[in-house]
Structure 1
Amino acid sequence: MADEGTGPTRRGFFVGAAVAAGTAVAAGATGWLLRGVDGDASTAEGAPTASASPAPDADRRPGITFPDVPQRHLALRVLALDGVESAALPALVAAASRVESPPDAGEVTVTVGYAPAHALTLWPERAAAASELPAFAHDDPAIVTGGDLAVQVCAETASGARDAADAVVAALGARIVWQQAGYRDAPTPHGTARTSTGFIDGIVNPRTAELREAGVWTDAVHRDTHLVVRRMLISASFTAQPVAAQEQAVGRSRDTGAPLSGGGPDDEVDLFAKTADGRLLTPAASHARRAHPSHIGRPLMLRRSYSFDPPSGAGLVFIAFLSDPQTFVMTQRRMDEMDDLMAATTTDASGCFFVPGE
């Protein structure tokens, strides 16, 4: 399932201290934005220059909460830097931010996460909650885990994402542990997108600064966060079912994304709604019920997932940013107990990484 493709050339991807023609770089601690510009631009007056932030407020971090609607393409790389000590990693990551982006790639965001062991060494207090993920019920026995860094590159073109990711990997001198290309369908009017199963993903997300303060950022000062990434295969036995059966497993309409309990796609799932004969409208084993945040008493994580196409069935690169990895662990444990959608999945690569802010 891993996408092994590389771009035709890496020439011209790296720029010096002064930003060269081809891109504007907005660099943060471990997230930066590449804005492709006209190749005839120069470093003379009026040329693009590095800026401290891609957005007017600190709540908007590249590849996490900026842009508001995620780009169409993903290039994910989980990397090993053999023999590199924790203390050397931030400087290597900073050096890797000097990459260019082609003009047609749109806003290319690069987000880097550190493995828990490195994070706890570098930021022992800020990363106190950093931890590896435990094993879950639907993990592949040969699941791929580990890695020193996770690099998420998002762009409007597949080649733009891939080439920027390859450039970062080359700059780091890293070995790829696992990688995956992903895509998102055209956004709905709500900014969500359909996965390769045809269902709308990301409906329940923290859409206000207040909700993100509670569930995404570890604190309001640094705006650190944790990245959970998992590559999931959804069995062809699920996608071959009648749509009505799929909807019962998901707990939402495939067409509109509305909960089976009624209302529109943005309405809350009514966990208590029943038919006249007493049957739950949102089935007991449906994903919408099992994953509902009210069951664990935790704030919302921010999901920013991408699809991919395996040889059969459907594929999803599950990506979530959250203030505490235990929010994901608790949610996944509930789904392990009973969830008709998750029962049709196998996760063959997984990791949890700390993404420091400023």
Structure 2
Amino acid sequence: MTTVSARLGGSGTEQRPSRRRALVSGTAAMVAAGITGYAAGARGRPTAPPGGVSRAGASGTRPSSAPEAVALSARGSRQAGVDRPVQPQQHVALSVYDLPGAGRQDGPGSDFAGRSGRLVAGLGTRVLGLTTRDGDTALGGFPPGDLTVTVGVGPRVVAAVDGDLPGARELPGFAREDMPDSARGGDLMVQVCASDPQVVTLADGALRAWLQEHSAAPRWSQHGFRPPAPPTQPGPAGQRVPVRNLLGFLDGIVVPRTGRELDQEVWLPTPARVRGGTVSVVRRLRLDVARFAAQDLAQQERVIGRRREDGAPLSGGGPDASMDLGAKSAQGRYLVPAMAHARRANPNGTGSGLMLRRGYSYANGPEDRGLLFICFQRELRTFVATQQRLDDGDELSSFATATASGTFLVLPGFSGTRPLGAPLFS
């Protein structure tokens, strides 16, 4: 399947009837909430920035018991929204645009490259305004809290600067895709994340209005949600806690976790024009949740290759155990089935690096719900090799259809004196 390559992780052996009922009920509740488009985590209240009370809070519209959202600076050598915050916020709006003048292949130094650079720089200024403590003026009175905005440019834009740069290659076609041309590719990606869904909606709307005023044409967009990390597993600095997707399994188990792993697998060190950036792939995957849920638990776990309860690999060990692809039963069968998703997507099988995955569930109605897959890596090949291996044989793929797809160079970080995109376009 397309990246549910995101290695949808797995969990769960049944314990006792009461536990089984709790697991099933919890999954059913999450899926039911997803059908309405306002699922797990969408009940969060607007949150105040650290060290102060917002105007809305002072007026009594914000409960004093609402959790604080930790403010995240948009400034720095790398953009926020990739590895910051460590645990992704609960809500996302991801939008893809076409930029004006991209109808032909323009070479380095072309008018298209110059116009794109100026638009991106202006967008960065707008982002800085939204993500500061004063941003609540543009957000209808809501403080930005932990709002992050991550910007990437598509292959046509990168190739117009230098066709040899990372990010200049388009994604190839894959199996099980059902998408119009308008949902494939694109010149600009804007990923808006926050703990407060209202802040996400308002920030995404403000940026969309600004971009359309500057002739950017919306291509496709998707709002998504994810449950909060378990309160008993806050995840120390540098670690990410996987959360459940609409299939009821843990998502994002095998990812780079330490700073060293992120430097090796995610962040681009060279050339200087892209240093501090990364290559992103975004895919909207419609999942056949009902058909998957109709299978018994043992079959679901065979499809995933992990236990539903805790994400432990079927090869044995606990949730943190490495998957043993060679482990077999007494009868000589692989403990992790040959076509299990976790086996097919394992880097040891694909010969590729690790992706940093920050996926979200989405629900556009009872017939269109699934996974908004978002990953970051140094090389596009990391994703492509994984997806091609899944296309060659992966049981989970039969439950997933890609309805939108694109790849983008996430630009290096920026500040008030170093405009967004300056290293690339200068």
TM-score scaled by structure 1?
0.81
1:315 aligns with 2:363: no
1:138 aligns with 2:176: yes
Over 3 Å counting, the alpha-carbon distance change for 1:53 and 1:123 in structure 2 is: farther
CA distance in 2 between partners of 1:246 and 1:232 (Å): 18
Aligned residues: 319
Aligned partner of residue 295 in structure 2, secondary structure: coil
Over 3 Å counting, the alpha-carbon distance change for 1:290 and 1:312 in structure 2 is: same
Q: 1:277, CA displacement in angstroms?
A: 1.2
Over 3 Å counting, the alpha-carbon distance change for 1:330 and 1:65 in structure 2 is: same
**Partner residue in 1 for 2:264:** 214
Over 3 Å counting, the alpha-carbon distance change for 1:142 and 1:239 in structure 2 is: farther
CA distance in 1 between partners of 2:101 and 2:202 (Å): 26
Q: 1:74, CA displacement in angstroms?
A: 0.6
Percent identical? 41
The code of the aligned residue for 1:242 comes to D
> Hey, which of these two has a bigger chunk of strand by percent?
1
**Partner residue in 2 for 1:340:** 395
Moved over 4 A (4+): 49-52, 101-105
Structure 1 gaps of 5+ residues are 6-21, 25-34, 41-48
Kept in 1, the 8 Å contact 2:305–2:313? The answer is yes
Aligned partner of residue 203 in structure 2, secondary structure: helix
**Partner residue in 1 for 2:54:** 38
Kept in 1, the 8 Å contact 2:91–2:197? The answer is yes
Kept in 2, the 8 Å contact 1:36–1:105? The answer is no
1:201 aligns with 2:251: yes
Q: 1:262, CA displacement in angstroms?
A: 1.2
**Partner residue in 2 for 1:87:** 114
What do the CA deviations read for 1:245-266 (whole angstroms, capped 9, x no partner)?
1111000111111111111222
**Partner residue in 1 for 2:88:** 70
The code of the aligned residue for 2:161 comes to L
**Partner residue in 2 for 1:53:** 75
Kept in 2, the 8 Å contact 1:215–1:301? The answer is yes
Instruction: List aligned pairs for 1:182-331, cutoff 5 A.
Output: 182-188=224-230, 189=233, 190=235, 191-219=241-269, 222-235=275-288, 236-309=290-363, 310-312=365-367, 314-331=369-386
What do the CA deviations read for 1:117-146 (whole angstroms, capped 9, x no partner)?
102223555x34531111111111546213
TM-score scaled by structure 2?
0.69
* Greater relative contact order structure (CA < 8 Å, 6+ sep): 2
CA distance in 2 between partners of 1:138 and 1:302 (Å): 23
1:357 aligns with 2:387: no
Of the structure 1 ranges 175-184 and 236-245, higher mean CA displacement relative to structure 2 is found in 236-245
Over 3 Å counting, the alpha-carbon distance change for 1:36 and 1:107 in structure 2 is: farther
Structure 2 gaps of 5+ residues are 1-33, 39-47, 57-70, 103-111, 236-240, 414-426
Over 3 Å counting, the alpha-carbon distance change for 1:4 and 1:151 in structure 2 is: farther
Q: What RMSD over aligned residues (CA atoms) do the two structures have, in Å?
A: 3.0
Over 3 Å counting, the alpha-carbon distance change for 1:253 and 1:37 in structure 2 is: same
The code of the aligned residue for 1:131 comes to R
CA distance in 1 between partners of 2:205 and 2:152 (Å): 16
For residue 164 of structure 1, the aligned residue among 192, 196, 203 is 203
1:117 aligns with 2:156: yes
Kept in 1, the 8 Å contact 2:306–2:313? The answer is yes
Over 3 Å counting, the alpha-carbon distance change for 1:351 and 1:229 in structure 2 is: same
Q: 1:324, CA displacement in angstroms?
A: 0.7
Q: 1:232, CA displacement in angstroms?
A: 0.2
The code of the aligned residue for 1:292 comes to N
Over 3 Å counting, the alpha-carbon distance change for 1:296 and 1:278 in structure 2 is: same
**Partner residue in 2 for 1:155:** 194
Q: 1:86, CA displacement in angstroms?
A: 2.8
What do the CA deviations read for 1:199-245 (whole angstroms, capped 9, x no partner)?
11011010011111111112176221011000001113223222221
CA distance in 2 between partners of 1:194 and 1:73 (Å): 14
Over 3 Å counting, the alpha-carbon distance change for 1:253 and 1:105 in structure 2 is: farther
**Partner residue in 2 for 1:9:** none
> Hey, which of these two has a bigger chunk of helix by percent?
2
Aligned partner of residue 78 in structure 1, secondary structure: strand
CA distance in 1 between partners of 2:72 and 2:194 (Å): 19
Of the structure 1 ranges 146-155 and 64-73, higher mean CA displacement relative to structure 2 is found in 146-155
